[in-house]
């Protein structure tokens, strides 16, 4: 899988994409290959069942959410948006230096706050948190344990006492965690 110029021609607007996203041609090629292998029906864009076919995602407790997050924005996932997607850095970090940080990392995920916040009201309510916990912990714990944990989590993070975690509170509670270092996936060269 070499990045010869002929293969680069497969990708439309390769140059422009490379400029936009900052990926190298090898990266782009890899992503494109992946795109093609995902897009089984050769429709030119990705749909939810393409993703659901991925075994790993099926086993992943939040796989459903990831798929939802992908497709909820309504963008038809042809290749250029997909490569653009990879650039969406975590919206938790807004300072300039950190922006550079995440730009230099080859890939970052969608804002994880959005993944929690399903109804898009800008806050993570207790119910949403509970759903996340339920998904992650599954059948192993009882309902009230989940309740306790959710309660405690909200209590710790909720600064304006509205019983939900807004985006800012979310950011604040995780500022110690050095999120941007964790929210990146590095591709092998």
Q: Which spans of this chain sit near other proteins (rule: CB under 8 A)?
A: 31, 34, 37-38, 51, 54-57, 60-63, 66, 101, 105, 107, 109, 112, 115-116, 126, 129, 132-133, 136-137, 140-145, 147-149, 151-158, 161, 163, 173-174, 176-177, 179, 181-188
- For other proteins, the closer CB: 5 or 120: 120
Least distance (Å) between residue 33 CB and other proteins:
8
- For other proteins, the closer CB: 6 or 59: 59
Least distance (Å) between residue 105 CB and other proteins:
5
- The residues facing 123 across adjacent strands are 166
Q: Write the DSSP assignment of the chain as a string of letters.
A: ----HHHHHHSTTHHHHHHHH---HHHHHHHHHHHHHH-TT--SSB-HHHHHT-HHHHHSTTHHHHHHHHHHT---B-HHHHHHHTT---TT--SHHHHHHHHHSSEE-S-HHHHH-TT-SSEEEHHHHHHHHHHHHGGGS-HHHHHHHHHHHHHHH-SS-SSEEEHHHHHHHTGGG-HHHHSEEPPP-
- For other proteins, the closer CB: 25 or 60: 60
Least distance (Å) between residue 173 CB and other proteins:
5
Least distance (Å) between residue 67 CB and other proteins:
9
Residue 17 half-sphere exposure toward CB, CA atoms < 13 A: 25
- For other proteins, the closer CB: 5 or 104: 104
- For other proteins, the closer CB: 1 or 5: 1
Least distance (Å) between residue 132 CB and other proteins:
7
């Amino acid at each position: 899988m070499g990045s010869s110029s002929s293969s680069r021609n497969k990708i439309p607007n390769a140059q422009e994409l490379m400029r936009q996203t900052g990926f190298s041609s090898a990266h782009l090629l890899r992503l494109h290959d992946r795109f093609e292998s995902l897009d089984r029906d050769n429709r030119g864009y990705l749909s939810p069942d393409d993703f659901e076919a991925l075994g790993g995602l099926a086993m992943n407790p939040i796989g459903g959410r990831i798929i939802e997050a992908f497709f909820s924005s309504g963008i038809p996932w042809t290749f250029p948006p997909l490569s653009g997607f990879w650039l969406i850095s975590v919206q938790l970090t807004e300072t300039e230096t950190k922006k550079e940080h995440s730009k230099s990392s080859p890939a970052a995920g969608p804002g994880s706050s959005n993944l929690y916040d399903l109804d898009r009201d800008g806050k993570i309510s207790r119910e949403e948190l509970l759903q996340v916990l339920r998904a992650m912990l599954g059948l192993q714990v009882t309902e009230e344990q989940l309740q306790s944990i959710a309660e405690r989590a909200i209590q710790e993070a909720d600064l304006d006492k509205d019983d939900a975690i807004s985006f800012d509170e979310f950011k604040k509670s995780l500022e110690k965690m050095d999120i941007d270092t964790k929210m990146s996936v590095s591709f092998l060269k």
